[in-house]
Amino acid sequence: MRGILNLNKPSGISSYDCIRQLKPLFKPKKIGHAGTLDPLATGVLLILLNEATKISRLLMALPKEYEAEIKFGMQTDSDDITGTTIRTSPVPNITHEALAELLSERFSGEIEQIPPRFSALKVSGEPLYKLARKGADFTPKARTATVYEIKLLEWNPPVARIYARVSGGTYIRALCRDIGLELSSAATLNSLTRTGIGEFKIAQGYPLAQLLNSKTLPGELLVPIEKALMHLPRIFVSREQAQALVQGKPVTGIFPQDYEGTPIVVQTQDNRFFALAKITNRALAPERIIYAK
Parse the chain into domains and list their residue ranges.
3-61+199-227, 64-197, 232-292
What pLDDT, in 10s, does the model give residues 63-116?
999 999 999 999 999 999 999 999 999 999 999 999 999 999 999 999 999 888
Torsion of Cα atoms, 224 then 1 then 286 then 256, to 10°: -20
Which CATH architecture describes the domain 64-197? Answer: 2-Layer Sandwich (3.30)
What stretches of the chain adopt beta strand conformation (E)? Answer: 3-9, 31-33, 42-49, 64-72, 74-76, 85-88, 109-113, 122-123, 126-127, 143-156, 159-166, 187-197, 200-201, 206-207, 234-236, 251-252, 264-267, 273-280, 283-292
Q: What value does the mean pLDDT of the chain take?
A: 92
CATH topology identical between 64-197 and 232-292 = no
Mean pLDDT of 245-266: 85
Residue 281, pLDDT score: 79
CATH 2.30.30.90 correct for 232-292: no
- Phi first, then psi: give them for residue 226, nearest 5 degrees: -60, -40
Q: Which of 17, 38, 77, 178 is catalytic?
A: 38
Q: Which tens digits make up the pLDDT trace of 179-210?
A: 999 999 999 999 999 999 999 999 999 999 99
Model confidence at 133: pLDDT above 90: no
Mean pLDDT to the nearest integer, 239-267: 87
38 catalytic? Reply is yes
Q: How confident is the model at residue 261 (pLDDT cuts 50, 70, 90)?
A: confident
Amino acid at the residue 282: R
pLDDT at residue 282 in the model = 81
Q: Give me the CATH topology for the region 3-61+199-227.
A: Pseudouridine synthase (3.30.2350)
Q: Closest Cα partner for 189 from 174, 199, 168? A: 174
